[in-house]
A and B are shown apart, each in its own frame.
Chain A
């Protein structure tokens, strides 16, 4: 069964440092999503890509977060500088173009900022 690949699985970084996460969606999935899940809460969308274009980044803290999907395939989410409140699980998901399909999630990256 096809999977969404994410790396690293775990990341510990000091505050004010830069950190990056990588996601490789299921082949052929046009839509890619980055979600943030704070412990004890539901996932919240940070950014949504359609191919290489951003279609929703309204909840992305753009002063410190950036995301790209240059060739419309894999994607990188960056935080610079990291803050203590960024500690969370960062989940990547992908889906086909049609709205009726569910999302397939990767295993996530657990970020701890110390």
Chain B
């Protein structure tokens, strides 16, 4: 069965500084990996995904993520944080076959201070 770990409950960063939100995963076979963002009382918004190919994936709002197969990680990054990036971020994984479900981590709250 697949699983996701987000080791940090909260990440604090000053506006303009780079940010990293960590994610590690476990899955049988090759993974499909996703990052979603959630604002208060809203659904999840898709940021980016890794399916195959280049290990560095670029997504919405200037976010990117690096797939590292040997470390089974898929960390979310942004070169320069904005206050408006403050939200809850979820990493998710699914196996690349059949009807495997998308499994989410527990989420990391990102707080960007002015």
By a beta-carbon cutoff of 8 Å, the part of chain A in contact with chain B is 4, 6, 31, 33, 40-45, 48, 50, 55-56, 89, 91, 93, 99-100, 102-108, 110
Contact = CB atoms under 8 A, between A and B. Distances in A.
A106 B96 contact: no
Interface of B: 4, 32, 34, 36, 41-46, 49, 51, 90, 94-107
A42 B109 CA distance: 12
A44 B103 CA distance: 7
Nearest to B49: A102
Given A43-B90, A43-B104, A102-B49, A48 B99 contact: yes
A27 B100 CA distance: 22
A91 B102 CA distance: 13
Among B46, B101, B104, chain A packs the most CB atoms within 10 A around the CB of: B101
Contact of A100 (B32, B41, B104): B32
A50 B98 CA distance: 11
30 contacts: A31-B99, A41-B106, A42-B105, A43-B44, A43-B90, A43-B104, A44-B104, A45-B101, A50-B99, A56-B101, A89-B41, A91-B43, A91-B44, A93-B44, A99-B32, A99-B95, A99-B98, A100-B49, A100-B51, A100-B96, A103-B44, A103-B46, A105-B44, A105-B46, A106-B43, A107-B42, A107-B43, A108-B41, A108-B42, A108-B43
A45 B95 CA distance: 15
A99 B97 contact: yes
A87 B104 CA distance: 19
B99 A45 contact: no
B6 to A, nearest CB: 8
A42 B102 contact: no
Given A99-B94, A100-B32, A56 B102 contact: no
A102 B46 contact: yes
Contacts of A4: 43
Contact of A56 (B42, B43, B99, B107): B99
